[in-house]
A and B are shown apart, each in its own frame.
Chain A
Amino acid sequence: MATFIDLTRAYLRSFLREPSAVVFSFAIPVLFIAVFGLIFGNQGTPHYDLGVVVPQSGPNAEQLAQQLQQVSIFKIHRGAQPDELKKLSHGDRTAVVVVPAAVDQAGQAANVAVYTDPSNSASRSVVLPVLRQVVDGFDRQLAGTPARVTLETRSTSVQNLRYIDYLVPSILAMSLMQLGLYSAVTLVTQRESKLLRRLGATPLRRGTLVASQVAQRVLISVLQAVILIGVGKLFFHVDFTRDLPMLLFFIVLGTLAFVAMGFVVGAVASSAESAMPLVQFIALPMLFLSGIFFEIDAGPAFLQPVARIMPLTYLGDALRQSTVHVTALNPLWVDAVVLAGWLAVSFAASVRLFRWE
């Protein structure tokens, strides 16, 4: 055990004394957050252009239109139905709401029609649920419910989630992935410099050697989480829920899965020079397709099945769920099972392929 601790400390020191590793693991993710946070963070909530058509004005119809106006994520455009529908088809509107005259006729059933572009997924994931809430609330007022329900109190998490809130846990997931996958390069370098062979000439157990390197990565991951969450909280006022045990669980599970994948790459690659592009080949698609910078739904439909098998998709989802209020992509147990699956497969492959020299 003492050997394990000392060796882990040796690996930690080696890591922290390498300026490029420190910059890459700590400064770059913080820089990402700062850049994206400054570009998008101060805009507050994103907004969606909503066309509102009121063919026949009346007190109730105007009141509904007014209530839609009050939803902060909507930018309301009043207009005639043909015009608004044309703008929807051109992508200038996210959705068009038609308020029927029936709302001002007592006793009549009134259907508020919502036109959306099915290819625009933002309308499905954000606009429709909010519209439904607004209309439901309005309906209850008409039915004479004594409590006057305002939209603010009925706000869903979608309305409060800012881009920066989404971004911080996502960048953390990205950093854990990079850290894990890059253990491939560390491993190959140790093999190339014959350090692994030198250690093999001592009575040091090979299990201890591997465990120390994994422990080093897990500890650095936790340090990354502390720094990124600290920056998010201090500078961007990200509202973290504090499910710390869950967060820690997923940091460890995610790091283990990606370190195991890194070991597979390290076993396959013949030199540090060839390990580097291999790591990028795995990391880059995940960066763009796993919903790190943008929600998965925002990507083209044919790529979504690809995103559905990528471990980063699940780590990002799990870290967001255990840090901020966000709509879940999957139940947490699904995230855990998929990540554990990746860990198991990669671990088995790395044990099979591992080379000491």
Chain B
Amino acid sequence: MLTRTDQPLDPTPAFKDAARSAELPVVEVEGLVKCYGNVSAVDGIAFDVRRGEIFGLLGPNGAGKTTTVEILEGLRDADGGAVRVLGLDVRRDREAIKQRIGVQLQTPSLFPRLKVLELLRLFARFYRRSLPPERLIADFGLEESAGKLVKQLSGGQQQRLSVALALINDPELVFLDEPTNGLDPQARINLWSVVRALQARGVTVLVTTHYLEEAERLCDRVAIIERGRIVALGSPRELIRETFDESAVLFHAEGASSTELAALPAVSAAHADEADWTLYSTDVPATMAGLLAWAGRRKLQIEGLSVRGATLEDVFLKLTGRRFRD
């Protein structure tokens, strides 16, 4: 299991590291605990978020991501542990923190009968400093919706508005809770580019997601959360490299057994989802040759054969023994 202590060094140049270390982390979480009744939703989580990075909390639904984020936002009180946001104590300096952070909740949670422009202007009022609503409307491609009631917007437009609203106070740190949930693939890619644009402007982003691909492609560093605990933390590439030197061989075959497949050359593990097989191989050519020979002998049909490098999904499977979607 990876912890923060055995992380490899950040591959960025030394001078950048020095500049970063001079700055305090934007978010510091130490031994965070939150219980609901007897159930501990968050069970001793610790991580830091560095200024300017896109940090992801990745985990299945119910893993404790939203609870963690809501404690950081000052919406819930922790039962234990220490949390500092922008160097301030989340309990004592709640008001000061709220002035400087942007928040997007999992549900859009807006006034359904206000117009888009009215809504942005209203929220601008709540803060000491704010961006011009017109600029956010342009940045998020909502020009044609500006005069529409919020409830008339499509799901994707509401989601974009919800993110725009999180930026109305020109925050240093933005929390995005499942921002691409329910979006179609194109809208999801658009939102990623918005998040990257934020990063380019120096904004730190903490994003939760249950999409592995999203975490892999969007985040600089990821904490994988399972049942209220962090099971791995690091950049996606590092996590994969640290956990695996295998590649995955995928195919569909009826009537195969895992003992047979696990015995093929260079295969370290074989997992089946119905008749969809994943073989982890340390030597892909050897495994492929063995597989095809075996299929020929058994007269089995092999369909959809493909090879890919390991992904965060494989990391999750290996670390928890469970498939991510379980």
Contact B118 A10 (CB under 8 A): yes
Contacts of A106 in B (CB 8 A): none
Chain B, Cβ-Cβ closest to A205: B95
Total chain B interface residues with beta-carbon distance under 8 A = 26
Contact B113 A201 (CB under 8 A): no
Q: Return B208 CB to nearest CB of chain A, in Å.
A: 15
Cβ 8 A contact of B111, one of A14, A197, A200: A14
Beta-carbon contacts under 8 Å, A173-194 to B = 193-194
Contacts of B74 in A (CB 8 A): 201
Asked if B114 is at the interface (CB within 8 A of a chain A CB), the reply is: yes
Chain B, Cβ-Cβ closest to A208: B126
Cβ 8 A contact of A204, one of B110, B118, B126, B128: B126
Asked if A17 is at the interface (CB within 8 A of a chain B CB), the reply is: yes
Contact A2 B75 (CB under 8 A): no
Contact A13 B109 (CB under 8 A): no
Q: Return B198 CB to nearest CB of chain A, in Å.
A: 18
Do A198 and B113 contact each other (CB < 8 Å), given the known contacts A6-B125, A17-B149? no
Docked CA distance A13–B113 (Å):
7
Contact A201 B98 (CB under 8 A): yes
Asked if B73 is at the interface (CB within 8 A of a chain A CB), the reply is: yes
Do A197 and B114 contact each other (CB < 8 Å), given the known contacts A2-B125, A6-B125? no
Q: Return A13 CB to nearest CB of chain B, in Å.
A: 6
Cβ 8 A contact of A201, one of B103, B106, B111, B122: B103
Contact A203 B126 (CB under 8 A): yes
Contact A198 B105 (CB under 8 A): yes
Do A18 and B127 contact each other (CB < 8 Å), given the known contacts A10-B118, A197-B75? no
Contact A14 B113 (CB under 8 A): yes
Docked CA distance A202–B73 (Å):
9
Chain A, Cβ-Cβ closest to B115: A13
Asked if B107 is at the interface (CB within 8 A of a chain A CB), the reply is: yes
Docked CA distance A203–B73 (Å):
11
Contacts of A2 in B (CB 8 A): 125
Chain A, Cβ-Cβ closest to B150: A14
Do A201 and B125 contact each other (CB < 8 Å), given the known contacts A10-B114, A18-B113? no
Asked if B294 is at the interface (CB within 8 A of a chain A CB), the reply is: no
Docked CA distance A6–B123 (Å):
10
Cβ 8 A contact of A193, one of B98, B109, B125: B109
Cβ 8 A contact of A7, one of B99, B105, B107, B122: B122
Q: Return A340 CB to nearest CB of chain B, in Å.
A: 32
Contact A198 B122 (CB under 8 A): no
Q: Return B270 CB to nearest CB of chain A, in Å.
A: 44
Cβ 8 A contact of A195, one of B73, B111, B127: B111
Contact B98 A202 (CB under 8 A): yes
Contact B127 A6 (CB under 8 A): no
Asked if A327 is at the interface (CB within 8 A of a chain B CB), the reply is: no
Do A202 and B126 contact each other (CB < 8 Å), given the known contacts A10-B118, A17-B149? yes
Asked if A3 is at the interface (CB within 8 A of a chain B CB), the reply is: yes
Docked CA distance A3–B119 (Å):
13
Cβ 8 A contact of B109, one of A3, A17, A195: A195
Contacts of B123 in A (CB 8 A): 202
Contacts of B126 in A (CB 8 A): 3, 202-204
Chain B, Cβ-Cβ closest to A14: B113
Do A200 and B99 contact each other (CB < 8 Å), given the known contacts A10-B114, A14-B114, A193-B109? no
Contact B118 A13 (CB under 8 A): yes
Contacts of A201 in B (CB 8 A): 73-75, 98, 103, 105
Docked CA distance A200–B110 (Å):
12
Q: Return A20 CB to nearest CB of chain B, in Å.
A: 12
Binding site for A on B (CB under 8 A): 73-75, 95, 98-99, 103, 105-107, 109-114, 118-119, 121-123, 125-128, 149
- Given contacts A10-B114, A18-B113, could you give 5 more A-B pairs where the C-beta distance is less than 8 Å? A2-B125, A10-B111, A10-B118, A195-B111, A198-B105
User: What 5 pairs between A and B have smallest CB-CB spacing?
Assistant: A198-B109, A201-B103, A194-B109, A202-B126, A14-B113
